[in-house]
Chains A and B, each alone.
Chain A
Amino acid sequence: MKKKSSRKRPSRFRLFRVIVLAGVLLTLALIFLVSTLGSQQFGSLHKLILEAVGPLQKTVSIGSSTVNRFKSEYVDILQDSLRLREKNKQLVKQLQENEIKLNRSREAMATNASLRKLLEFKNSLGQQSKLAASIIGKDPSTMFRSVIIDQGSNAGITKGDPVVNDEGVVGQVFAISPNYAKVLLAIAPSSAIDVLLQKSRVRGILKGDGTLTYRLEYILKTAEVQEGEYVVTAGYGGIFPTGLRVGVVSEIIRKPRGMFHEIKVTPSVDYQKLEHLLILHQPNLAEIKQLEQP
């Protein structure tokens, strides 16, 4: 029984204490609020609080600014560098793409210029039927000189058709398949073309010697030939049209013996840059007969 009564007394006392404390605090708060709002003065309590909180605030502020500075100096730089690296990659890629485009456009321009020349030359040939072709393969042997073109008998090419480009005579078709043909270049030793010296009107046979020069044969020593004279196709055989450029006389070797001059001719065609060609259709015998009939 004693024990029970001793438990109840402190609980009542505690409740009383709480109520008193709350009343005091509320009263003080009310006084503080009324005094503060009423006087509008930064009192000693405010100063005390400020003095107490100030260092903490200062510390936090310094810490924050240090963190911000660190962030701006290191983290942002890192982010920037990563961003720059990404940007750099993009720019390098863009540059490469642009370079590829530039190269393609340059190539297209060069091809365009080459084809334009060929077209002008084709138009200058008049009514003779002709066909454009491109070189797709070159003979790698040291014994022969030939190329393969991307047009064949399906396009109307026949064996023996002359092959030219805008610079002059290139060679003659010597083997054909439905879609491709082999061209014997005029610099090949087995090639022989009937030509004329343009100024002196002397006729000769132009042969290749495997190098980038021709040999002009069967020009009599009595004929007056000068260096720099143009050599053109004679057109006697009916294969090549008359007057197509072949080359320029570059050297005349006058030997004491023999009947003929030994003449070297520089080709008008640049064989190192051969790309696009024109195949002139050789008029066949039936066509020639038709032309001959009135």
Chain B
Amino acid sequence: MIVINFIVVGLLLVIAQTTVFMPQVDWLPAPDFYFVLVAFLAYRLELIHCLLILFPLACFLDVLCGTVLGSYALICFSGFFLLKTANEKLPIREPLYQIPLIGLVYLAVHYLVYQLLNFLQPDHLVPWSWSPMCIRTLLVMLLAYPFFFFFEKVRTFSVSNLLPWNRIRLRTDNRRRRRT
């Protein structure tokens, strides 16, 4: 349930990002909602759930945005694993430090993916510019707190078992009963 809910949320975010929040083709303050979701997954959800959510999310992004297939998958997965590793290795796990870390990872991942794509396909990408990327990083950081709150609500809703799967599940037998 949690996987399906977050896939739907991810899809809606990508659609919103490519339509409502993108009034012009070169709109600078376009918010990268998907990366906030990637960060939330890295911080809050189990790895297997995250992977099941990230695959379709990266696929949606590759289909709806960009011209080089796989570039968004690279951004999503590298960002996710970087954030997850940092979250596990770093001694401080307070939200105050987590949000700047999201910004830092967002900037670093975009820069590295850009350099890689530029190496593979020179002159096919818009020239790198720090100022728009810094604005977008700032946007991601600003959006992180409210979106984490929203995602947390979605997560709580998803695990609250509105559909009583546990009750309707077929149970074979009492596992603790002694064999005679």
Contact = CB atoms under 8 A, between A and B. Distances in A.
Interface string A70-96: 000000000000000000000000000
A205 to B, nearest CB: 12
Given A211-B26, A272-B24, A272-B25, A140 B17 contact: yes
B67 A142 contact: no
A189 B124 contact: yes
A148 B17 CA distance: 13
Interface stretch (B97-105, B125-133, B164-172): B125-133
A174 interface: yes
Contacts, number: 91
Contact of B27 (A138, A144, A184, A209): A138
Contact of A144 (B15, B21, B126, B136): B126
B125 A137 contact: no
Contacts of B67: 139, 144, 146, 174, 182, 184, 188, 190
A158 B124 CA distance: 22
A141 B66 contact: yes
Interface residues of A, number: 28
A143 interface: yes
B8 interface: no
B25 A148 contact: no
B65 A144 contact: yes
Given A137-B18, A174-B67, A143 B117 contact: yes
B123 interface: yes
A138 B28 CA distance: 12
Interface of B: 15, 17-19, 21-22, 24-27, 30, 32, 64-68, 71-72, 110, 114, 117, 121, 123-127, 129, 132-133, 136
22 contacts: A137-B64, A138-B19, A138-B22, A138-B24, A139-B65, A139-B66, A140-B30, A141-B65, A141-B66, A142-B129, A143-B117, A144-B65, A144-B126, A145-B26, A146-B65, A146-B67, A148-B64, A185-B25, A189-B124, A189-B126, A189-B127, A211-B126
